[in-house]
């Protein structure tokens, strides 16, 4: 007999393992998605290369730097959006499979449930992004000799905290609206792409969007990683960014769980778990 | 004195939805309420099989969902082995498992992958699980080679047996069975019923069985509850019910009490 903590750990691993089994079954589609990710990143890289032939290479414009700036944005966005959507989509997907009632009546804390999904998404996202990175480095001969990899990794690790909080908040949507909640996850993802400075600095945005970008954790994650990869900012330099990201995580994760708990109670009161719409 | 497996006091559950009456403006929608359970009182002692009979919309599945912590009652209290389904839901879930009419699985995954997942959710490690899964599936009459096939390639009957096997794997104290044999061919139905009989004889488990099958209820249940419109019509053993109402079958008893047949179609809750 294992204790409550062991039981929760077993369940945490169970959620991650289940995702692994699902991905193994859908491996052909995962290859297709990987191909799509590579194509997306390469398109951005070639877009940057094309800027030179469009006459953008003159003056103080550093084409090489611009290419790296965009490639880092594309790679990171691919990774962060994968983690975000995996977690955000967890409830919608279980509803679609018809297993949601079984998962919700298992003796598992909701935190374990959602963290198990996030755990797999983080590991899987890292593996997939690493493959895309290798292809991008080979094709565009990216030079990371001036980069501080440790600094970039610490920002990446810290960015997981607020990202998980945001993803949990978004995963609530299918509980609130079985019919339309899932599509709203895409709307949230699209808005984050717009305001978080993935492909351009926030300064080009109108001020209301700049304000939204200012509170988006992805803005800090991207800025921090670019700083380490392009300018060689060290771990020590990144401490303020790490602090901001962890602070945002400390706020967003409890809020995410509180909202999820409220939405679960509401769904149980109104009988929304059963509906497959 | 042992603690009751189920103790329900005054449980009421209604579902509300907004509906526009014909001729009313588009924006004017009135709330409509459908009462699924009406101040239900129930006590079930541990062990044995308690059957719940009633037509669609009688509140059977609502009762099962409340006990499974998937719905919260509007009023009253429901306890499983002394734990409240609302305030102590996590503890209730440790005691309970459920088999529903639709075998809900990850269809691309195999029975083994689905069952190891379920086993982990209930705090078990993988050690010895494969052997137990094979044993349970064999007991249910499933060939061993289905264990690694995707669920979507299994027949409806085979999927339902895997659902039952999944519930056995987690060793619940209270098993909620919501029409587990509906849609099964006669042979599969008999095999599942045989397993239930064996389970009743061999294990310390309380089974709450919702069924439309009168023969199944008469053969398997120590006690039968009849529900109609969310109200309890009758509560006794199958033999006592037939004797009390001078009826030959449980269906006759239900018709005598409600004036309806069990096949009466109502709104499914």
CATH number of the domain encompassing residue B247 = 3.40.50.300
Q: What is the pLDDT of residue A2?
A: 56
Measured CA to CA, the distance from residue B99 to residue B119 in angstroms comes to 15
Are A172 and A101 in contact, with CB atoms under 8 Å apart?
no
Across all residues in chain A, what is the average pLDDT? 87
Q: B262 pLDDT band (50/70/90 cuts)? A: low
Q: What percent of chain B has pLDDT over 90?
A: 34
Q: What is the pLDDT of residue A259?
A: 93
C-alpha distances in angstroms, A271 versus A60, B18, B144, B191? 61, 14, 38, 33
C-alpha distances in angstroms, B261 versus B136, B174, B265? 36, 29, 9
Q: What percent of chain A has pLDDT over 90?
A: 44
C-alpha distances in angstroms, A224 versus A217, A237, A251? 11, 9, 20
Q: A277 pLDDT band (50/70/90 cuts)? A: very low
CA of A2: which chain B residue's CA is closest? B123
Q: Is B268 part of any domain? A: no
Least confident of A30-34, A234-238, B71-75, B127-131: B127-131
Residue A135, judged by CB atoms within 10 A of its CB (0-12, 13-18, 19+), counts as middle
Q: Rounded to two decimals, what is the model's pTM?
A: 0.84
Higher pLDDT, A56 or B145: B145
Measured CA to CA, the distance from residue B95 to residue A163 in angstroms comes to 35
- Relative to beta strand B75-80, strand B223-228 is unpaired
Q: What is the pLDDT of residue A1?
A: 47
CA of A9: which chain B residue's CA is closest? B123
pLDDT in tens, A64-115: 788 888 998 999 888 888 888 887 778 888 888 888 899 999 999 988 998 8
CA of A22: which chain B residue's CA is closest? B109
Interface of A with B (CB under 8 A): 2, 6-8, 10-11, 13-14, 17-18, 21-22, 25-26, 97-99, 101-109, 265, 268-271, 273-274
Q: What percent of chain A has pLDDT over 70?
A: 95
Q: What is the pLDDT of residue A96?
A: 81
Say if residue B11's pLDDT is above 90. Answer: yes
* B243 vs A: CB within 8 A: no
Q: Is B266 part of any domain? A: no
C-alpha distances in angstroms, A182 versus A79, A91, A115, A198, A261? 20, 9, 19, 23, 18
Q: What is the pLDDT of residue B251?
A: 86
Q: Is B223 part of any domain? A: yes
Q: What is the pLDDT of residue B268?
A: 39
Q: What percent of chain B has pLDDT over 70?
A: 95
Q: What is the pLDDT of residue B13?
A: 93
Say if residue B266's pLDDT is above 70. Answer: no
Contact list, A101 vs chain B (CB under 8 Å): 65, 68, 70, 98, 100, 104
Mean pLDDT of A249-266: 93
Q: Is B267 part of any domain? A: no
Instruction: Report the number of distinct structural domains present in chain B.
Output: 1
Higher pLDDT, B158 or B63: B63
B213 in helix, strand or coil? Answer: coil
List the single residue in B100, B106, B120 with the smallest CB-CB distance to A97. Answer: B106
Say if residue A252's pLDDT is above 80. Answer: yes
A to B CB pairs, distance under 8 Å: 97
Evaluated on CA atoms B209, B211, B213, B217, the torsion sign reads positive
pLDDT in tens, B189-232: 887 788 778 777 766 789 999 988 888 888 889 899 999 888 99
Contact list, B120 vs chain A (CB under 8 Å): 10-11, 13-14, 17
Q: Is B185 part of any domain? A: yes
Best of B89, B106, B147 to substitute, by most chain A Cβ atoms within 10 angstroms, is B106
Evaluated on CA atoms B235, B237, B238, B242, the torsion sign reads negative
Contact list, A268 vs chain B (CB under 8 Å): 69-72
Q: B19 pLDDT band (50/70/90 cuts)? A: confident
Task: Give all strands of the β-sheet with B30-44 in edge-to-edge order.
Answer: B30-44, B6-19, B75-80, B83-84
Across all residues in chain B, what is the average pLDDT? 85
Q: What is the pLDDT of residue B1?
A: 57
Strand partners, B75: B12
Q: Which of A127-136, B203-212, B260-269 has the highest mean pLDDT?
A: A127-136
Domain that holds residue B150: 6-21+29-258
Say if residue A55's pLDDT is above 90. Answer: no
Say if residue B23's pLDDT is above 90. Answer: no
* A15: closest CA of chain B, how far (Å): 7
Query: Is A102 within 8 Å of B118 when comparing Cβ atoms?
Result: yes
Query: Is B65 within 8 Å of A274 when comparing Cβ atoms?
Result: yes
Q: Is B166 part of any domain? A: yes
Say if residue B265's pLDDT is above 70. Answer: no
B151 in helix, strand or coil? Answer: helix
Q: Which of A63-67, A117-121, B121-125 has the highest mean pLDDT?
A: A117-121
């Amino acid at each position: 007999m294992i204790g409550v903590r062991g039981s929760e750990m077993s369940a945490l691993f169970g959620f991650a393992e289940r995702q692994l089994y699902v991905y193994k079954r859908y491996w052909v589609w995962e290859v297709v998605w990987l191909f799509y990710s590579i194509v997306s990143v390469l398109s951005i890289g070639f877009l940057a290369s094309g800027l030179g032939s469009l006459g953008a290479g003159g003056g103080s414009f550093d084409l090489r730097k611009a290419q790296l700036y965009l490639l880092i944005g594309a790679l990171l966005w691919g990774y962060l959006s994968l983690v975000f959507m995996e977690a955000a989509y967890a409830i919608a997907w279980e509803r679609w499979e018809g297993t949601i009632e079984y998962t919700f009546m298992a003796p598992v804390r909701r935190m374990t449930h959602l963290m198990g999904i996030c755990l797999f998404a983080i590991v899987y996202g890292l593996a997939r992004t690493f493959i895309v990175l290798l292809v991008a480095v080979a094709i565009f001969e990216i030079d990371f000799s001036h980069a501080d990899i440790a600094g970039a990794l610490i920002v990446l690790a810290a960015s997981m905290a607020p990202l998980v909080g945001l993803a949990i908040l978004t995963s609530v949507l299918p509980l609130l609206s079985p019919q339309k909640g899932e599509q709203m996850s895409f709307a949230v993802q699209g808005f984050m792409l717009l305001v978080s400075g993935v492909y351009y600095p926030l300064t080009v945005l109108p001020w209301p969007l700049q304000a939204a970008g200012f509170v988006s954790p992805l803005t800090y994650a991207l800025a921090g990683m670019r700083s380490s990869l392009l300018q060689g900012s060290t771990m020590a330099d990144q401490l303020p960014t790490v602090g901001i990201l962890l602070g945002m995580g400390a706020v967003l994760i409890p809020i995410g769980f509180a909202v999820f708990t409220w939405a679960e109670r509401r769904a149980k009161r109104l009988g929304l778990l059963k509906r497959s719409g | 004195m042992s603690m009751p497996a189920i103790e329900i006091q005054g449980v009421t559950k209604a579902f509300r939805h907004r509906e526009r009456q014909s001729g009313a403006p588009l924006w004017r929608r009135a709330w409509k309420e459908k009462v699924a359970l009406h101040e239900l009182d129930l006590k079930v002692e541990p062990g044995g099989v308690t059957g719940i009979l009633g037509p669609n919309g009688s509140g059977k599945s609502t009762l099962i969902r409340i006990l499974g912590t998937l719905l919260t009652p509007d009023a009253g209290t429901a306890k499983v082995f002394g734990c409240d389904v609302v305030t102590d839901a996590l503890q209730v879930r440790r005691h309970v498992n459920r088999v529903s009419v639709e075998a809900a699985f990850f269809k691309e995954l195999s029975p083994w992958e689905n069952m190891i997942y379920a086993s982990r959710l209930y705090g078990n490690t993988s050690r010895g699980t494969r052997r137990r899964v094979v044993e349970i599936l064999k007991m249910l009459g499933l060939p061993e080679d289905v264990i690694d096939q995707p669920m979507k390639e299994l027949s409806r009957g085979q999927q339902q047996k895997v659902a039952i096997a999944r519930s056995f794997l987690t060793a619940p104290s209270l098993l909620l069975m919501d029409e587990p044999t509906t849609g099964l061919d006669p042979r599969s139905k008999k095999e599942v019923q045989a397993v239930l009989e064996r389970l009743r004889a061999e294990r310390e488990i309380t089974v709450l069985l919702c069924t439309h099958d009168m023969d199944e209820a008469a053969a398997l249940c120590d006690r039968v509850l009849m529900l109609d419109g969310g109200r309890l019509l009758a509560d006794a053993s199958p033999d006592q019910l037939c004797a009390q109402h001078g009826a030959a079958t449980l269906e006759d008893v239900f018709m005598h009490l409600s004036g309806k047949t069990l096949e009466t179609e109502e709104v499914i809750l």
